[in-house]
Structure 1
């Protein structure tokens, strides 16, 4: 290594988890003349204080801010890097962190593969960031839904319905027993579905559904927009439409709108469920992509930023690319107070991890109890996994079995609307599939007395075979 590279390597770094560093693990394959250690040093330099040459303007203090390569696994092409977290904007700025650790470095020519697989945040750093405010527990309390997934849908077709047609589908799903409806990720202010009319009609449809069913409902509105003022204007339009607090969420296309939009919503509207749609994430997260970051990394940063929920995939059960090793690890990583990632065990506590109160909270959290209600200073609150992409009533139990819990929102699209009986009957079949799971009854047995579920089983079983 040259003298510059040596300044970014310390394979004898004592206690990297001492609270001074954000830690990251990369899969890294060099391109060209550099070996893996030299390449790792170049990556550490580019992602902290350095450039491609040693500069004469370094100071003793600036060197303290160097990212450090502190561990290698040559057999698996893995590199561990410690980043002094004081490098980052102290305003709790997520985009600033990502600009460092998965910014320019993804484009340097010394690498053939560079993927951030896992990150670890020290308690001292967690204190600087927002974390979620309105959580899954708050939504459950509003809906009165406990012990099962929150049953939701994405309106389909995703585009082409008028405002009135869109609201009609919402109404049908809600009166069929569903809890949660969301705009799809491209929903905006299209000429055939004006945003203001869509909001107005959804409010009317929700009021009618609540009156008829006697149960609360939630709608997630996509507020992603071309500029700040339009985004905030959409939020205010929804609030001023007269929706009851808790009955609406703000969906933001986090990858394409950006982290500034995500954090603006979190800070402006702490009493609203902030729904992070991850459209575009596959360019970074798909396992076959050698450059980027993992689903776990994206999900962890969403929790750090304060999103209430983020899409985490269907673990291979649905139509989207994913595995339990990726999707379930990510879901657990944002849901629990303490969880094992691909390389790090992340504790989201802000006070000492072995504090007696924290141990009690971890135990209660594992038992699916509600935590951090009146002691939010102790830890970062949970972020809800949102599950969508090719699920239907017959795939609900298989996904729950893979997930290992029911603490998620499922948003089935065609899994509801493709039902031969239509959306309302499709929602009924979803509710019945959930009832069968909760009662421990095989859905085929349960379907003998529930014709809506029987129709769903017949249709989706045949549709799955035809698609193969």
Structure 2
């Protein structure tokens, strides 16, 4: 369903003991022209032009108890039953313009603080094509990342620098050299390693890129490295310029902590692929009655022009269900507006190894993805090269619809991975 040309639509899960229609109307007023009472300057003409509207209210099963406390309801001595509904609001584009922080403040903002509700979650968003085109597009996305890595078919196989922190710039470069020789497509810094004293970013970039360039000259193969440049916006610009000078292809940022404006400024300052790490998203999403769903979350960040989005991994070490991970990957692969190709590359990680490949392929049905294994590569009993081969062998098996254990009879690296990691999962 596409949004109208003049409005942005947003879907919410709302929980309240009050009349659903009145609460939905309060939401629309709070996030556009109104407040808790009508004021003198809020004319009928102004309301018709600028007020958000309630498009749909779909009542759902009630909640057995309040999901969140509300001092306002307690003061009113209002208790359950607690009704739930999916509410769709439409916000006039003219209220917002091409202003990403204000868009986020409009579709979310004070809604989470409304006293009338005991649950509030932004589920999904739809933007009109003309509005989407006013924002930055991915510089590379899926197709561009394939060009940069030289991986035209199948998944892009990646890994993460481990240990997360502690390695010097020289030690990191030596590990990158080993991983390049192992046949990896993509290497990234960990999100907690940006510019530490033991491995300053400028030293790390230069040391790592010497090895990446040398490997490229020896083998003809390109390896993409996502350097974690998370910092203030001026520092991120400088770091990106250094990576570009050193012939790198990609930088990474912890988007939740940098903020929309900083990521937009970074996108406009660099031609490099922008790898969006979502660490911290769990605090916004784990409670089913609070926060933001991934479809809405990734919509906002895609308007900032990122190229890759983390979706976690199937059967991984984090809390998200496989269904949520799969749906997140499909969201990344869905254009935000009809007729545009602004897809971003879903990046799978968190406890991934050869054994999680079949579930990933079955769930996503595509190899337009980045499959990253940290321990699954670096902890393989026969070394990182065997770890990379085990993951590729697992993808061969999945794409040919062959059970892993059958394929492993002729793939010793996969056989070793199944024996070693299978005991730990």
TM-score (normalised: structure 1) = 0.81
- CA deviation string 1:121-171 (max 9, x = no partner): 122322322221212211212322122110001112211211122222222
Shift in alpha-carbon separation, 1:380–1:54, aligned structure 2, 3 A:
farther
Contact 2:309 2:332 in 1 (8 A): no
- CA deviation string 1:268-314 (max 9, x = no partner): 22x3211111111111122x342111011111222222111111232
2:67 is the counterpart of 1:67:
no
1:44-83 to structure 2, matched below 5 A, reads 44-63=28-47, 64-76=49-61, 77-83=85-91
Rounded to whole Å, the distance in 2 between the matches of 1:132 and 1:16 is 21
Give the one of 236, 244, 248 matched to 1:239: 244
Shift in alpha-carbon separation, 1:275–1:16, aligned structure 2, 3 A:
closer
Rounded to whole Å, the distance in 2 between the matches of 1:301 and 1:382 is 13
1:393-404 to structure 2, matched below 5 A, reads 393-404=354-365
Question: Could you say which residue in structure 2 is the equivalent of 1:348?
Answer: 337
Q: What's the secondary structure of 2:382's corresponding residue?
A: coil
Question: Could you say which residue in structure 2 is the equivalent of 1:375?
Answer: none
Contact 1:175 1:212 in 2 (8 A): no
Question: Could you say which residue in structure 2 is the equivalent of 1:135?
Answer: 141
Q: Shift of residue 191 of structure 1?
A: 1.0
2:292 is the counterpart of 1:293:
yes
Question: Could you say which residue in structure 2 is the equivalent of 1:229?
Answer: 234
Contact 2:138 2:342 in 1 (8 A): yes
Question: Could you say which residue in structure 2 is the equivalent of 1:26?
Answer: 12
Contact 1:23 1:82 in 2 (8 A): yes
Question: Could you say which residue in structure 1 is the equivalent of 2:94?
Answer: 86
Q: Shift of residue 380 of structure 1?
A: 4.5
Rounded to whole Å, the distance in 2 between the matches of 1:190 and 1:142 is 28
Give the one of 323, 326, 329 matched to 2:324: 326
Q: Which runs of 5+ in 1 are unaligned?
A: 1-14, 338-346, 350-357, 359-378
Rounded to whole Å, the distance in 1 between the matches of 2:3 and 2:334 is 20
Q: Shift of residue 438 of structure 1?
A: 4.2
1:28-427 to structure 2, matched below 5 A, reads 28-30=14-16, 34-63=18-47, 64-76=49-61, 77-88=85-96, 90=97, 92-225=98-231, 227-240=232-245, 242-243=246-247, 247-269=248-270, 271-286=271-286, 288-314=287-313, 316-337=314-335, 348-349=337-338, 379-427=340-388
Q: Which runs of 5+ in 2 are unaligned?
A: 62-84
Question: Could you say which residue in structure 2 is the equivalent of 1:355?
Answer: none
Q: Shift of residue 35 of structure 1?
A: 2.2
Rounded to whole Å, the distance in 2 between the matches of 1:425 and 1:230 is 38
Rounded to whole Å, the distance in 2 between the matches of 1:297 and 1:183 is 26
Q: Superposition RMSD on alpha carbons, in Å?
A: 2.1
Contact 2:361 2:399 in 1 (8 A): no
- CA deviation string 1:54-108 (max 9, x = no partner): 22122455312111112212234211111111111x3x32221111111121122
Question: Could you say which residue in structure 1 is the equivalent of 2:413?
Answer: 452
Contact 2:312 2:348 in 1 (8 A): yes
Contact 2:2 2:126 in 1 (8 A): no
Contact 1:117 1:297 in 2 (8 A): yes
Contact 1:296 1:326 in 2 (8 A): no
TM-score (normalised: structure 2) = 0.88
Q: What's the secondary structure of 1:276's corresponding residue?
A: strand
